[in-house]
Amino acid sequence: MLARRLVAFALACALVFGTLFVPTDTIAASPPALSLPIPLGETWKVIQGYNCGTHTSYDDNAFDLVNTNGRTRGAPVRAAADGTYWWWGAAGGTVILSHGNGYYTMYSHLESHVPFRKGQAVAAGTVIGTVGSAGTSYSNPHLHFEMFYGEGVSARNRRGVPLAFVEGYNFPDNERCNEYMGVRLTAGAAPRDVQPPTTPTLLDPGQGRNQIVRWQAATDAETGVQGYQVYVGTDAQGTGDWFVAEPQVALPTLPAGHYFVRVRAIDNAGNASPWATLVEVNV
Ligand SMILES: [Zn+2]
């Protein structure tokens, strides 16, 4: 959304000024990597998601969170990334941290906060306050959390930034009302396996009838490799779902032709490496 708006703004400038003017202070570096701002090991639930309700304007990519493991009121709130303290607003129980390059995280409805000076450094994971219901028009305590982007020292022209967390969660903004309502987030859980295993490389092409092709076993640092999908056919880019657990395959008897033996590795979380053509066979 942010990128789209920047492009739209640049195009609008191009129309007005007749040249492609890209405002330098809105060319954002990557947003900071965020950790969940909730207590380690606990699972919290989104009770209001993106867009709609009270999450419009620059808080359109905010989550309202409650604890599913225990009490919400009084639970510690943790800084989502390294940064500096930037703002405290008593009315809404709001702490805002600055993370540089125009990125800020905001924590609202806190019933208490750690006293700070503006500009004081804060490390990711530091407890910055406790959850309450300050500033809410209804009574149930919850943590309102968001990241926004703003320009200049007063963070003008704020806009929401879609959330992602190093625990392995990614929440792009698809412009849907109350998007991600009901999602559960666990802090400090083992990261989910999102990386593919390594791509197989040829070890031994084999030969003769019922040729056995062997490849270097793939590796996967997270959940390990469960096996390989194999394609044997005439298409240089062919794919298939013939599955073998070991890093080798005995070729079937083939009619005359030119064949490609292609393999990809699958890890235990279902991530796949790219397909690799290991050998070409003339029959
Ligand atoms: Zn909220």
CATH number at residue 247: 2.60.40.10
Please identify, among 141, 160, 186, the residue that sits at the C-terminal boundary of a domain. 186
- Distance from Cα 170 to the centre of ligand 1, integer Å: 18
Domain shared by 161 and 274, yes or no:
no
In this structure, are residues 75 and 66 in contact, taking their beta carbons and an 8 Å threshold? Answer: no
Taking the centre of ligand 1 as the mean of its atom positions, its distance from the CA of residue 38, in whole angstroms, is 15
Of 186, 211, 237, the one marking the end of a domain is 186
pLDDT at 1: 44
Residues 102 and 36 in one domain: yes
Distance 41 CA to ligand 1 centre (A): 23
Give every CB contact of residue 112 below 8 A, 6+ residues apart in sequence. 129, 130, 132
Distance 103 CA to ligand 1 centre (A): 18
Instruction: Tell me the C-alpha distance between 158 and 28, whole Å.
Output: 13
**Among candidate residues 153, 136, 130, 163, the one with its CA nearest the CA of residue 36:** 163
The one-letter amino acid code at 89 reads G
- Asked if residue 122 belongs to a domain, the reply is yes
Q: Give the rounded distance of the alpha carbon of 58 from its chain centre.
A: 20
Banded model confidence at residue 193, pLDDT cuts 50, 70, 90 = low
Residues 207 and 181 in one domain: no
Centroid of ligand 1 to alpha carbon of 62 (angstroms): 6
What is the per-residue pLDDT for 189? 56
- Residue 15: pLDDT above 50? no
Query: Taking 60 as the threshold, does the pLDDT of residue 21 lie above it?
Result: no
Report CA(92)–ligand 1 centroid distance (Å): 11
Domain-embedded: residue 191: no
CA of 144 to the centre of ligand 1 (A): 4
Judgement on whether residues 181 and 59 belong to the same structural domain of the protein: yes
On whether both 209 and 146 belong to a single domain, the answer is no
Measured distance CA(71)–CA(69) in Å, rounded:
7
Q: Please tell me the distance from the alpha carbon of residue 123 to that of residue 128, in angstroms, as a whole number.
A: 10
- Is 0.85 surpassed by the pTM of this model? no
Q: Is 25 within a domain?
A: no
**Residue that the structure tokens 């996967």 belong to:** 220
Interval between CA 146 and ligand 1 midpoint (Å): 8
- Whether 170 is in a domain gets the answer yes
- Please indicate whether residue 14 or residue 262 has the higher confidence score (pLDDT): 262
46 and 175, same domain (yes or no): yes
Are 243 and 277 within one domain? yes
User: How confident is the model over 104-145, as pLDDT tens digits?
Assistant: 999 999 999 999 999 999 999 899 999 999 988 666 899 999
**53 CA to centre of ligand 1 in angstroms:** 9
CA of 141 to the centre of ligand 1 (A): 11
The answer to whether residues 140 and 63 touch, using CB atoms and an 8 Å cutoff, is no
pLDDT at residue number 221:
82
52-61: average pLDDT = 94
Task: Judge if 277 and 207 occupy the same domain.
Answer: yes
For residue 168, what pLDDT band results from cuts at 50, 70 and 90? confident
Who wins on pLDDT, 147 or 26? Answer: 147
Give residue-wise pLDDT tens across range 215-227: 999 998 877 888 8
For residue 108, the CA-to-ligand 1 centroid distance in Å is: 8
257 vs 267: which has the higher pLDDT: 257
Residue 194 maps to a domain: no
Report the separation in Å between the CA atom of 54 and the middle of ligand 1, taken as the mean of its atom positions.
6
Q: Is the pLDDT of residue 18 over 70?
A: no
In a domain, 3, yes or no: no
- Indicate if 123 and 231 belong to the same structural domain: no
| Secondary structure of 207-249 as H, E, C letters | CCCCCEEEECCCCCCCCCEEEEEEEEECCCCCCCCEEECCCEE
The residues, ordered by sequence, that sit 6+ positions from 150 with a Cβ below 8 Å of its Cβ are 58, 102, 104, 156, 157, 158, 159
Distance 113 CA to ligand 1 centre (A): 18
- Distance (Å) from CA 48 to ligand 1 centroid: 7
What does residue 58 show for φ and ψ, rounded to 5 degrees? -80, 0
Within-domain flag for 193: no
In a domain, 179, yes or no: yes
pLDDT at 154: 95
State the distance from the centre of ligand 1 to the C-alpha of 145, rounded, in angstroms: 7
Residues 128, 53 share a domain: yes
Q: Which of 186, 215, 238 is the last residue of a domain?
A: 186
Left (φ > 0), alpha (ψ -120 to 50) or beta: where does 224 sit? left
Same domain for 38 and 142: yes
For the chain, the average pLDDT equals 87
Task: Concatenate the DSSP letters of all residues of the chain into one string.
Answer: -HHHHHHHHHHHHHHHHSS----GGG-PPPPPPBPPSS-TT-EEEEEE-BSSTT--GGGTT-EEEEESSS--TT-EEE-SSSEEEEEEETTTTEEEEE-STTEEEEEESEEEE----TT-EE-TT-EEEEE--TT-SSS---EEEEEEEEETTTTEEEEEE-EEETTTEEE-----TTBTTT-EEETTPPPP--SPPPPP-EEE---STT-EEEEPPP--SSS-EEEEEEEEES-TT----EEESSSEEEPPP--SSEEEEEEEEEETTS-BPPPEEEEEEE-
58 lies in the same domain as 138: yes
Q: What pLDDT does residue 138 have?
A: 67
**Structural domain span for residue 82:** 31-186
**What's the CATH number where 60 sits?**
2.70.70.10
**Ligand 1 midpoint to CA 8 (Å):** 27
Q: How far is the CA of 55 from the centre of ligand 1 (A)?
A: 6
Q: What is the mean pLDDT of residues 178-194?
A: 82
Please give the pLDDT value at position 208.
75
In the reported structure, the alpha carbon of residue 129 is separated from the centroid of ligand 1 by a whole-number distance in angstroms of 17
Number of structural domains in the chain: 2
Distance from Cα 181 to the centre of ligand 1, integer Å:
12
